[in-house]
Structure 1
Amino acid sequence: MTLLQTNALTLAYGDTPIIENLDLQIPEGQVTVLIGSNGCGKSTLLRSLARLMRPKSGSVLLDGKEIHRSSTKEVARNMAILPQGPSAPEGLTVLQLVKQGRYPYQTWLKQWSEEDERLVNDALRMTGLTDLADRPVDSLSGGQRQRAWIAMTLAQNTDLILLDEPTTYLDLSHQIEVLDLLYELNQEQGRTIVMVLHDLNLACRYAHHIIAVKDKGVHSQGAPEDVLTPQMVKEVFCMDCIIAQDPIFGTPMCVPHGKGRLCNDRCLLKAECVSVK
Structure 2
Amino acid sequence: MLKTQSLTLSYGDSIIIEELNLTIPKGEISVLIGGNGCGKSTLLRSMARLLKPQSGSVQLNGKEISRYSTRKVAQELAILPQSPTAPEGLTVLQLVKQGRYPYQGFMHQWSKEDEECVQNALKATGMEELQDRFVDELSGGQRQRAWIAMTLAQDTDIILLDEPTTYLDMTHQIEILDLLFDLNENENRTIVMVLHDLNLACRYAHNLIAVKDRKVYQQGKPEEVISCDMVRHVFDMNCQVTTDPLFGTPLCIPHGRGRCIVQEASVSVAAAQ
- What band does the TM-score fall into relative to the shorter chain? over 0.9
In the alignment, what sits opposite 1:269?
none
Point out where structure 1 has 5 or more consecutive residues left out of the alignment: 262-277
Cα deviation, 1:93-127, whole Å, max 9, x if unaligned, reads 00000000000111101100000001100000000
- 2:201 maps to what in 1? 203
Quote the Cα distance in structure 2 between the aligned partners of 1:235 and 1:13.
25
- Map Cα deviations across residues 194-234 of structure 1 (whole Å, 9 max, x no partner): 00000000000000000000000000000000000000000
**Unpaired runs of 5+ in structure 2?**
261-273
- Matching residue of 1:126: 124
Q: Matches of residues 72-151 of structure 1 in structure 2 within 5 Å? A: 72-151=70-149
SS at structure 1 position matched to 2:117: helix
Q: What whole-Å deviation, never above 9, does each CA across 1:24-50 have from its counterpart, x for those lacking one?
A: 100000000000000111111111111
Tell me, yes or no, if the aligned pair for 1:159 and 1:191 is still in contact at 8 Å.
yes
| Contact 1:102/1:155 (<8 A) preserved | yes
Name segments (4+ residues, structure 1) moved above 2 Å. Answer: 258-261
Shift of 1:68: 1.8
Query: So what's the TM-score if we normalise by structure 1?
Result: 0.92
Aligned to 1:246: 244
Retained in 2: the 8 A contact 1:239–1:260?
no
Structure 1 CA distance for aligned equivalents of residues 66 and 147 of structure 2: 24
User: 3-state SS of the aligned residue for 2:258?
Assistant: coil
Q: TM-score scaled to structure 2, two decimals?
A: 0.94
Q: Which amino acid aligns with 1:139?
A: E
Aligned twin of 2:45: 47
Residue 24 (1) aligns with residue 29 (2): no
218, 221, 224: which one aligns with 1:220: 218
Deviations 1:65-105 (A, max 9, x none): 11122111100000010000000000100000000000011
1:230 counterpart = 2:228: yes
- Specify the SS of the correspondent of 1:48: helix
Which letter does structure 2 place at the counterpart of 1:259? G
The count of corresponding residues between Structure 1 and Structure 2 is 259
Alpha-carbon distance, 1:259 to partner: 2.8
1:170-215 superposed Cα distances (whole Å, 9 cap, x missing partner): 0110000000000000000000000000000000000000000000
- SS of 1:210's partner is strand
What residue in structure 1 maps to residue 258 of structure 2?
Answer: 259
What's the CA shift for 1:22? 0.5
1:167-182 → structure 2 map (5 Å cutoff): 167-182=165-180
Aligned to 2:155: 157
Equivalent position amino acid for 2:107 in 1: L
Contact 1:179-1:206 within 8 A present in 2 as well: yes
Whole-angstrom CA distance in 2 between matches of 1:109 and 1:238 = 55
The one-letter amino acid of 1:29's match is G
Once the two structures are superposed, what CA deviation does each residue of 1:220-249 show, in whole Å capped at 9, x if it has no partner? 000000000000000000000010111111
Q: CA deviation at 1:16?
A: 0.9
CA distance in 1, matches of 2:221, 2:185: 17
Structure 1 residue 260: deviation in Å? 3.4
The amino acid of 2:55's aligned partner reads: S
Larger radius of gyration: 2
The structure that is helix-richer by fraction is: 2
C-alpha RMSD of the superposition: 0.8
Contact kept in structure 2, 1:241 and 1:260, CA below 8 Å:
no
Alpha-carbon distance in 1 for matches of 2:174, 2:33? 18
Partners of 1:42 and 1:226 in 2: CA distance: 20
